[in-house]
Amino acid sequence: MNFSDIKFDCRHFRGDIPCKPNKLRDNVCSTCDDYDPVTKRILIIKLGAIGDVIRTSPLIQKFRSVYPGCHISWITLSPEVVPVSSVDKIYKFEFKSVYALTHQKFDIAINLDKDVEACSLIEDVYAVEKYGFMMQDGHVSVANRLAEHKFITGMFDNISKLNTKNYLEEIFEICGFTFSGEPYVLELNPAFDNLWEDLKTQAAGRKIIGLNTGCGERWLTRLWPEAYWLELIRKLQADGHFPLLLGGPAEDAMNRKYAAETGALYLGTFPLPQFFSLTNQCDVILTAVSMMMHIAIGLKIPQVLFVNIFNVHEFELYGRGLIVQPESGCDCYFGNSCKRESHCMKDLPVATVEAAIRDMIKLGRK
């Protein structure tokens, strides 16, 4: 074949190595039936936390429905949670990736982070259309007017408290779309399924209630009292359920203590792919942590979510979750220290949480 026969606009084109059709069937461009021309090149910049990356995944389906044949690239600090089957090119945020992206051309670039690094990157990327946030005149600003609402609510607490849009509505709006329940995309590795046979044996048919006992290290005001966790675990056990303690390194000591005092199962900490697989064994999740909330949404597991310092309208649980809040309200909006002598999370009774878990058990996984 001739150089002029190469289909540079084909989705399968790699350039540095042979494409998949060539590897599988010795196809070359001039005789290939797998030619799949790219209609739009789209870049998503979502560096943020793991949960933030997961909750941005509904945009993938929307872009693919609006622009059939589009090529999607994604740059992030957490490439392991970006769905490989749904994104064409995944970049880890580092120098060589930034260098490569700033020497490509995109039809659309979206940045949903207000970090200086992310905003600087989208400013340097060539794209016909830019959505979200970027640097302007040496400060963080908006790339398009549709991002102004999200920018303002992030700047002023008193305005943020009045917001009634959930996060997905906001990011879809930034991109010029309307959120219509597009699902999360979270992939499981089936290689880890056989790790949990002992768990299933111990549960012996009982409902597995995943208890994500911590609250992360950033917003410590979300932490539920230790005595409440112990009481809930014992009540769940008395009701014939199987509590499973979940968490990361920050919760390890706490979970070991709860396990020792109640006999609840705690299997330790795991890399993300295994943790996703372990979480998928649960019938219901209880959490105060947004990362676990997003994992549960992605896996379609009914959940109970603690909310105190955040705007309750921010959360979209897809009809598979209940939000429980302190009965006395909270005075520490987006705060990491409590203004009260008695922490508001003490005003969230065990009975309220237990009732919500029962409701989610009845809802069941679908």
Supply the pLDDT for residue 31. Answer: 87
Report pLDDT digits (tens) over 227-255: 999 999 999 999 999 999 999 998 999 99
Residues 6+ apart with CB under 8 A from 50: 78, 81, 272, 291, 294
Whole-angstrom distance, CA of residue 72 vs CA of residue 54? 16
For residue 346, name the pLDDT band (cuts at 50, 70, 90): confident
Tell me the Ramachandran region of residue 69: left when phi exceeds 0, alpha when psi lies from -120 to 50, beta otherwise: left
Q: Is the pLDDT of residue 219 over 80?
A: no
Over residues 30-52, the mean pLDDT reads 92
Whole-angstrom distance, CA of residue 182 vs CA of residue 57? 9
- Alpha carbon 326 to its chain centroid, in Å, reads 25
Residue 365 burial by Cβ neighbours in a 10 Å radius (0-12, 13-18, 19+): middle
Supply the pLDDT for residue 341. Answer: 61
Q: Is the pLDDT of residue 311 over 80?
A: no
SS3 102: coil
Report pLDDT digits (tens) over 90-143: 999 999 999 999 999 999 999 999 999 999 999 999 999 999 999 999 999 999
Which of the residue ranges 6-10, 31-35, 144-148 has the most confident prediction, judged by mean pLDDT? Answer: 144-148
CA of 41: how far to CAs of 46, 144, 285, 360, in Å? 16, 19, 37, 41
Q: Is the pLDDT of residue 215 over 80?
A: no
Least confident window among 8-17, 211-220, 278-287, 349-358: 211-220
Q: Which fold has domain 198-363?
A: Rossmann fold (3.40.50)
Whole-angstrom distance, CA of residue 143 vs CA of residue 123? 9
Q: 12-45 burial, b for 16+ CB within 10 Å, e for fewer? A: beeeeeebebbeeeebebeebebeeebebbbbbb
Supply the pLDDT for residue 326. Answer: 87
Encoding tokens for residue 179?
């959120």
Q: Is the pLDDT of residue 150 over 70?
A: yes
Residues 6+ apart with CB under 8 A from 173: 146, 149, 150, 165, 179
Encoding tokens for residue 273?
């792919």
Supply the pLDDT for residue 77. Answer: 95
Q: How is the chain split into domains, by residue range? A: 41-174, 198-363
Higher-pLDDT residue of 89 and 308 is 89
Whole-angstrom distance, CA of residue 47 vs CA of residue 36? 29
Over residues 181-191, the mean pLDDT reads 95
Computed over every residue of the chain, the mean pLDDT equals 92
Enumerate the β-bridge partners of residue 208: 242
Supply the pLDDT for residue 209. Answer: 98
Report pLDDT digits (tens) over 251-302: 999 999 999 999 999 999 999 999 999 999 999 999 987 899 999 999 999 9
**Where do we find the tokens 């219901």?**
284
pTM for this model (two decimals) = 0.91
Give the DSSP H or E segment for 43.
strand 41-45
Q: Is the pLDDT of residue 27 over 70?
A: yes
Q: Is the pLDDT of residue 366 over 90?
A: no
Share of residues in the chain with pLDDT > 70 (%):
96
Report whether 188 contacts 280 (CB < 8 A). Answer: yes
What one-character-per-residue DSSP string does 137-189 give? Answer: TTEEEESSGGGHHHHHHHH-HHHHTT----HHHHHHHHTT-----PPP-----
> In the CATH scheme, what architecture does the domain 41-174 have?
3-Layer(aba) Sandwich (3.40)
Over residues 193-221, the mean pLDDT reads 88
Q: Is the pLDDT of residue 309 over 70?
A: no
Q: Is the pLDDT of residue 196 over 70?
A: yes
What one-character-per-residue DSSP string does 258-306 give? Answer: HHHHH--EE-----HHHHHHHHTT-SEEEES-HHHHHHHHHHT--EEEE
Q: Do 198-363 and 41-174 fall under one CATH topology? A: yes
